[in-house]
Amino acid sequence: MALGLNKILIAGTYENTPGAYFQAAANIAATTAGNVVPAGTYLVIGTSNVVIQTVTSYNSTSNVATFSNVYPTNSGGMIISDGTNVQLLATTNATVQLVTVNGGSPVSSTFAS
């Protein structure tokens, strides 16, 4: 995941190519028990029989979290996950694609001549 979401847009670039705005971050399993989304900012591609949920209440006595739908079934959307409070829930197990902003290339040095 890119630490900053701002990026110069280059016309004619496609996902996972140099200069592209988006890069595929991961394919994550959406299960009938729910699967937590890793920490990050993602564009979630809509997937059949999958709903995006977040924690709306937590009972500290019983350690039970209550999840509620953020987007309807079969819909994608932009999500920000802390690695704990956002999950993908499926009526039948599925794989969901997460896309994030391209983090760019690592820097080898600063002010090299």
Whole-prediction pTM value? 0.75
Dump pLDDT digits (tens) for 73-92.
Answer: 999 999 999 999 999 999 99
Q: Which ranges of the chain have pLDDT less than 70?
A: 1-9, 103-113
Residue 87 buriedness (CB in 10 A; 0-12 / 13-18 / 19+) = buried
Q: Among 42, 31, 51, 45, which Cα is nearest to 81's?
A: 42
Q: Which helix (H) or strand (E) holds 76?
A: none
pLDDT digit string, tens, across residues 99-111: 887 766 665 666 6
96, HSE (Cβ side, Cα atoms, 13 Å): 32
Residue type, 50: V
**What is the domain partition of the chain in residue ranges?**
36-101
